[in-house]
Chains A and B, each alone.
Chain A
Amino acid sequence: MTGEPLLKVQAVETYYGNIRALSGVDVDVHKGEIVSLIGANGAGKSTLMMTICGSPQARTGQVIFDGEDITRLPTHLIARKRIAQSPEGRRIFPRMTVYENLQMGAGLDNLKYFNEDVEKIFTLFPRLKERQSQRGGTLSGGEQQMLSIGRALMARPKLLLLDEPSLGLAPLIVKGIFEAIKKLNKEEGLTVFLVEQNAFAALKLSDRGYVMVNGKVTMSGTGKELLINPEVRAAYLEGGRH
């Protein structure tokens, strides 16, 4: 990978009060890549994701997106730079219908491309089309995850952040969702930054990966490299791959 990365996280430190959650994290995501960040519970993966979105903001260090420093921008302005997020726990709007949830995602362009984009989402996730007039809260977990990703895609993002898309879902559904992500990446060149506990599936999908331990990036490499790395295997793969 050459040239300026699309997203550059540089020596970022984030605190919750006096507790340091991230200590000097460097992560690069290049255009057209799928990059995953793996690590155990409480390693700071989600904190990094939230720091990129500016809530909480990094105390030191820089987050640079598309050549622009976004470290101190409020969350909604970061989102308007076309960084879309499917947050941890999905956070869809439970009382709104699937269709309305997707509309909310297209708010940045004031629904200008809504009709063509919504068709794309429905082709990608046909389940959502069946459920379009159902309320978000009545969907199953997997459908909610699809909706959350779909809503993020409606913003026509340059960078898609996915926080634990496999959380609490059956393996078959996870597979389907990961295939959809791969397809988006291949066909539309979508850049994806993925946080996952499911290290095996994430690394298999990714071009590159980072391993995070206690708020620090301890290892990085291509997905294949990490998959065969003995330390990674011992810590994240052997135990969880039955």
Chain B
Amino acid sequence: MAIASENNVQPDVMAKAIKEAVFAGVVAFCMFLLFVGIETYQDINNQLVWRTRWGLLAVFVAVAVVGRFVTVAFIKPHLDKRKLAKAKTGVLDISEEKSFFHKHFLKIALVFLLCYPFLAMMIFGRQGSLKYVDNFGIQILIYVMLAWGLNIVVGLAGLLDLGYVAFYAVGAYSYALLSSYFGFSFWLLLPMAGILAALWGVILGFPVLRLRGDYLAIVTLAFGEIIRLVLINWTDVTRGTFGISGIAKASFFGIWSFDVGAANNFNKAWGLPSSSVYYKMFLFYIILALCMLTAYVTIRLRRMPIGRAWEALREDEIACRSLGINTVATKLTAFATGAMFGGFAGSFFAARQGFVSPESFVFLESAVILAIVVLGGMGSLTGIAIAAVVMVGGTELLREMEFLKHVFGPDFTPELYRMLLFGLAMIIVMLFKPRGFVGTREPTAFLKERKAVSGSFTKEGHG
């Protein structure tokens, strides 16, 4: 029946699409008229004058019109048709047979990551690959690690933490201060930074034990700010907003150094041309190993009593207590474990940058990390990694979008629209995948065989 009537429906849809597109255009015009259409600036005489930007306004309106038209005329009928087809077959999308890529996704991803720096060097040359190893590879992996660390607190234990960046800062400053004051090496300070961050996790955990949800979020937010303000104002130790520079590089387990002047320089020892790309590649493998450690620990913990207790705590705290779970200890270990990985990432960050300042640890960072966890699907390591690649990689890609200058004029700096796009991406993901990229929770225990478990209706079926 639907197929027969399709031809009659078509003109209606087109008329409706045009109508809605015009309406969207009018709304966009009214909205952007003053914000985009008119610009104020100071002229040579320091007078504030205004000028119009009709071209840019036209671009905005055109995007709205075309976008609305395409949505109504093509995308929506397509989605409806798919939904209808699905409803007719009456089968949910749990197919047992997955494609080869789907089945071996993790293995493929790991092999790709292991080869990535060499591939980049082969394709883009020694200096050209710097950008891909450092800006894309290391940067994304740092966020993957941070998000996986936060995932333990937010995704598994269900404790909303808006100040996670504080532990990142603790780790970074632990390395920066202890290495520049006492000359300790990276490999000694990496675990130490983790332990110190875990300690701060417990310190944060104690006062907020009784809090949950919104109240907990506010207190953790304040905690993040307190750490940052201490870093800014404790100038004797942290040098305040100037930050700490000249932080020692990580060495190859003490055997070879990456300092240019050192006698046991890595490049010299291996007869390689002097280039910083080898150090970056080394760093890439360190952060990759740290990420794998985080993932391994998370997966192992989920199968252990403590991990199960975290997940149960997220579901129902009262039930947990009635089952003999010490909720105090459970929450504290969640905070400490999450913070520890934040600390590892922080000390790595300090070693990689060679410079830390409080500016790197603003609330926005916490928000970005949390956004990655939520977008990825709380609790899912794969989803979070994908979200980190999309979000952080997307930001880095924006810097590369030179061609946009031809569209929007030479003053256009795409990075400035980062947050706008970030927000847009979040809204879109939440509209279509409200539980994140990978929204289903993988069970940790099975009786005999793995069965497909439907996950979409869990909250609704309370009885």
A and B from one assembly?
yes
Residue ranges of A at the interface with B (Cβ–Cβ < 8 Å) = 53, 55, 74-77, 79-80, 84-85, 87, 90-97, 99-100, 103-105, 107-108, 110, 118, 132-141, 144, 151, 155, 168
B208 contacts chain A at the CB level, 8 A cutoff = no
Question: Which residues of the other chain, B, contact A110 by a CB distance below 8 angstroms?
Answer: 305
Does the CB pair A55–B315 fall under 8 Å? no
A87 touches B319 (CB 8 A): yes
B463 adjacent to A94 (CB under 8 Å): no
Which B residues lie at the A interface, using CB under 8 A?
Answer: 305, 308-309, 311-312, 314-316, 318-327, 441, 443-447, 450-451, 453-455, 457-463
Contact of B447 among A79, A90, A105, A133 (CB under 8 A): A133
**How far apart are the CA atoms of A91 and B315 in the complex, in Å?**
9
Measured in the bound complex, the distance between the Cα atoms of B318 and A85 in whole Å is: 11
Partner of A97, one of B325, B326, B445: B445
Residues of B close to A92: CB separation below 8 A:
316, 319
Give Cα A58–Cα B429 distance, bound, in whole angstroms: 49
Tell me whether B309 and A94 are in contact (CB under 8 A). no
Chain B residues closer than 8 Å to A77, beta-carbon distance: 324
**Contact A91–B461 (Cβ < 8 Å):** no
Residues on A with C-beta less than 8 A from B322 are: 53, 75, 79, 84-85, 87, 91
| A93-B463 CB under 8 A given contacts A75-B322, A133-B451 | no
Q: Do the beta carbons of B453 and A94 come within 8 Å of each other?
A: no
Residue pair A137, B462 in contact (C-beta under 8 Å): yes
Decide: A93 and B451 in contact? CB cutoff 8 A. Answer: no
Closest-CB distance, B244 to chain A (whole angstroms): 44
Chain A residues whose CB sits within 8 angstroms of the CB of B316 once the complex forms:
91-93
Do B463 and A96 touch (CB < 8 A)? Answer: no
Q: Establish whether residues B461 and A137, one from each chain, have CB atoms under 8 Å apart when the complex forms.
A: yes
Per the bound structure, the CA–CA distance linking A93 and B323 in Å amounts to 12
* A107 and B453 in contact, given A91-B319, A99-B443, A141-B463 (Cβ under 8 angstroms): no
Residues of A within 8 A of B462 (CB): 94, 137, 144
Q: Are A79 and B324 in contact (CB under 8 A)?
A: yes
Complex Cα distance, B320 from A85, in Å, reads 11
The SS class assigned to the B binding surface is loop
Distance, CA A148 to CA B460, complexed state (A): 18
A100 touching B445 in the complex, CB below 8 Å, given contacts A91-B318, A107-B309: yes
A144 cross-chain contacts in B, Cβ below 8 A: 462-463
Residues of B within 8 A of A91 (CB): 316, 318-319, 322
State the main secondary structure of chain A at its contact with B. mixed
Complex Cα distance, B303 from A100, in Å, reads 10
Tell whether, in the assembled complex, residue A104 and residue B460 are in contact, meaning their CB atoms are under 8 Å apart.
Answer: no
Report the bound CA distance from A53 to B318 in whole Å. Answer: 11
Give Cα A139 to B460, complex, Å: 10
A137 to B456, CA, bound (A): 10
With A87-B318, A100-B445, A134-B453 in contact, do A107 and B308 touch (Cβ < 8 Å)? Answer: yes
B312 touches A104 (CB 8 A): yes
Given A76-B327, A134-B453, output 15 extra A-B contacts at Cβ < 8 Å.
A87-B322, A91-B318, A93-B311, A93-B316, A96-B311, A96-B312, A97-B445, A105-B323, A110-B305, A133-B443, A133-B451, A137-B462, A138-B458, A141-B463, A155-B323
A140 to B461 CA separation, bound complex (whole angstroms): 7
> Do the beta carbons of B319 and A138 come within 8 Å of each other?
no
Is the beta-carbon distance between B324 and A155 smaller than 8 angstroms? yes
Q: Once the chains bind, are B315 and A103 in contact (CB under 8 Å)?
A: no
- Measured in the bound complex, the distance between the Cα atoms of B447 and A118 in whole Å is 10
* B308 touching A104, Cβ below 8 Å: yes
Hey, which chain B residues are within 8 Å of A140, CB to CB? 461, 463
Q: Is the CB of A133 within 8 A of B459?
A: no
Check if B457 sits within 8 Å of A137, measured CB to CB: yes
Decide if A95 touches B441 in the complex (CB within 8 Å).
Answer: yes
Q: In the assembly, what is the distance between CA of A151 and CA of B320, in Å?
A: 11
A sample of 12 cross-chain residue pairs with beta-carbon separation below 8 angstroms, ordered by A number, consists of A76-B321, A79-B324, A93-B312, A94-B459, A96-B443, A97-B453, A99-B443, A107-B308, A107-B309, A107-B323, A135-B455, A140-B461
- Within the complex, which residue of A75, A79, A90, A99 is in contact with B445, where a contact is CB–CB below 8 Å? A99
Q: How many angstroms from the CA of A93 to the CA of B318 in the assembled complex?
A: 11
Most buried by B among A53, A74, A133, A134: A133
Cα–Cα distance between A92 and B458 once the two chains are bound (Å): 12
A90 contact set on B, CB distance < 8 A: 463
When chains A and B are docked, how far (Å) is the Cα of A45 from the Cα of B322?
A: 17
Q: Which of A100, A107, A135 contacts B324 (CB 8 A)?
A: A107
Q: Which of A53, A100, A103 has the most CB of B within 10 A?
A: A100
Evaluate contact between A107 and B305: CB separation under 8 angstroms: yes
B213 to chain A, nearest CB (A): 17
Q: Is the CB of B461 within 8 A of A139?
A: yes
Q: How far is the CA of A175 from the CA of B121 in the complex (A)?
A: 72
Across the interface, B315 reaches (CB within 8 A) one of A79, A84, A93, namely A93
